[in-house]
Each structure stands twice: as structure tokens, then as C-alpha cells.
């Protein structure tokens, strides 16, 4: 009965999940971001809550409804997400970075709306902190799960991320496929675990993928 939500096999577990996109302001009316809708992270939050876990969901802007029984913390920028993750991390049993985090921010967002003047406009971006990598460095008992979004060399890139970020499970996504991933209700992923062969999880609803992720973690 592994994917049966009536089984409260995560009762008492404290789970932190990040979901959706982060957005980085350019000026008061513009920003840079990515295509993430938050569906994968919200499916994880709902699955964990139904399996009895105490779930905190740190979410970027999304149109999705707040899952029942889940504590949602809304953020916009990567810096805000990092700050909220830091607040909760120490008390958690399981931490899943499902968010599509903006790797860069605008160095100096304009205080006023930028007016169109010259024919070109340069924006200087600076790197954001890697939230997951920092968690990997400071984790104690927590089980840490990361995602990888790749458009090429999936296994090679994702294996490197698993090692560099010191995660217990890395969920690798091929984001070049239109039928799965960003914006889709379905996904097909590969689970990578230190010391294990890659495991393909065939195309299925994000909720089913979420259940398989928790089945995997709960078998550790």
C-alpha cells in the first residue's frame, strides 16, 4: 500500500519543501524569473501532509491553491527564500528543494521605473547563493533532496549536482521535453542516490512522482 494516502507512514515527520520560481526585480514594475509553476513542489507538500507529516512550504509566486493542512510561507526573491529556509532548517527531518531558484539577481534594481532611452540596455546580474549547496554543507540528521533541471547531458550534470550539493536523493528532470516538467501536470524523472544505480521513474502525474519520492526517502 505504498502510494495509498490513507497510510500515515510520515506521521510526526517535519518536512520543509520549497516550490515554484523565485523572481528578481529589475525596477518597481519588471523582474526576471523562469517557467516554474510550483506544481511539483505543491504535489510534494500535499502528499507529505496526507501521509501525516507536518509540512512547511516556502513558495514563490504561484496560482496554485494552498494545500490543506500545510503551512505556507510566501516569498519572492532568492534572498528571501534563503532567509526563510534558514529559519526552519535546523528543526526539520526532511528538506526538499523543489523550487526553481533564480541563479542571478539584478545587482542594483532601479528605484524608479526605467525609461526607454538608448537603443540598448545592459543589466548587470550577480550570482545568488546556492541555498541547497549551503544546506548540504551544514546538514546534520536531515534527509536532503534536490532537483536538477537539465536540457542536455542529464545524467552527467545531475550526478555532479548530487555530489556537489551533498544530497541524499537527486531528482533529475529533462526540461527540454515539452510533454513533461515545467507547466505540465506530468513529469518523468531519474532518481540519483549516492552509491546506487540511476532509477528511471516513468512518465506519470506529479502527485505519483511525489509519492515515489517519499516512498524512496522512507525506505532509507
Annotated binding residues for CTP, written as ranges, equal 103, 113, 147, 161, 165
Pairing of strands 169-174, 143-150: parallel
Least CB distance from residue 103 to Ca ion, whole Å?
A: 4
Going by the DSSP 8-state scheme, the letter that residue 67 receives in this structure is P
Q: Which is nearer to Ca ion, 67 or 136 (CB)?
A: 136
The C-alpha atoms of residue 124 and residue 26 are separated, in whole angstroms, by 10
Question: Is 173 annotated in the active site?
Answer: no
Q: Which is nearer to ligand CTP, 61 or 69 (CB)?
A: 61
Applying CB under 6 A, the residues found at the interface with ligand CTP are: 78, 97, 99, 101, 103, 128, 130-132, 146-149, 161
Distances (CA, A) of 137 to 132, 144, 161: 9, 11, 13
15 interface partner picked from ligand CTP, Ca ion, none, CB below 5 to 8 A per type:
none
| DSSP states along 164-208 | HTT-SEEEEEETT-TTSSTT-SEEEEEEE-TTS--EEEEEEEHHH
Least CB distance from residue 4 to ligand CTP, whole Å?
A: 27
Least CB distance from residue 52 to ligand CTP, whole Å?
A: 24
Q: Which is nearer to Ca ion, 2 or 163 (CB)?
A: 163
Instruction: Please identify every residue annotated as catalytic.
Output: 34
Amino acid at each position: 500500500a505504498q502510494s495509498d494516502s490513507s497510510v500515515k507512514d510520515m506521521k510526526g515527520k517535519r518536512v520543509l519543501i520549497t516550490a515554484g520560481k523565485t523572481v528578481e526585480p529589475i525596477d518597481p514594475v519588471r523582474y526576471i524569473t523562469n517557467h516554474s509553476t510550483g506544481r511539483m513542489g505543491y504535489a510534494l507538500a500535499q502528499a507529505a501532509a496526507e501521509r501525516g507529516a507536518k509540512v512547511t512550504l516556502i513558495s514563490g509566486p504561484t496560482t496554485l491553491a494552498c494545500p490543506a493542512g500545510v503551512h505556507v510561507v510566501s516569498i519572492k526573491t532568492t534572498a528571501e527564500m534563503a532567509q526563510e529556509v534558514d529559519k526552519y532548517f535546523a528543526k526539520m527531518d526532511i528538506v526538499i528543494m523543489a523550487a526553481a531558484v533564480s541563479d542571478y539577481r539584478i545587482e542594483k534594481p532601479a528605484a524608479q521605473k526605467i525609461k526607454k532611452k538608448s537603443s540598448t540596455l545592459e543589466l548587470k546580474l550577480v550570482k545568488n547563493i546556492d541555498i541547497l549547496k549551503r544546506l548540504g554543507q551544514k546538514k546534520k540528521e536531515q534527509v536532503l533532496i534536490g532537483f536538477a533541471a537539465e536540457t542536455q547531458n542529464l545524467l552527467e550534470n545531475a550526478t555532479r549536482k548530487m555530489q556537489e550539493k551533498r544530497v541524499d536523493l537527486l531528482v533529475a528532470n529533462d526540461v527540454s521535453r515539452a510533454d513533461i516538467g515545467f507547466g505540465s501536470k506530468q513529469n518523468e524523472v531519474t532518481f540519483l542516490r549516492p552509491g546506487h544505480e540511476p532509477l528511471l521513474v516513468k512518465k506519470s502525474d506529479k502527485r505519483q512522482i511525489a509519492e515515489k519520492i517519499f516512498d524512496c526517502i522512507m525506505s532509507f
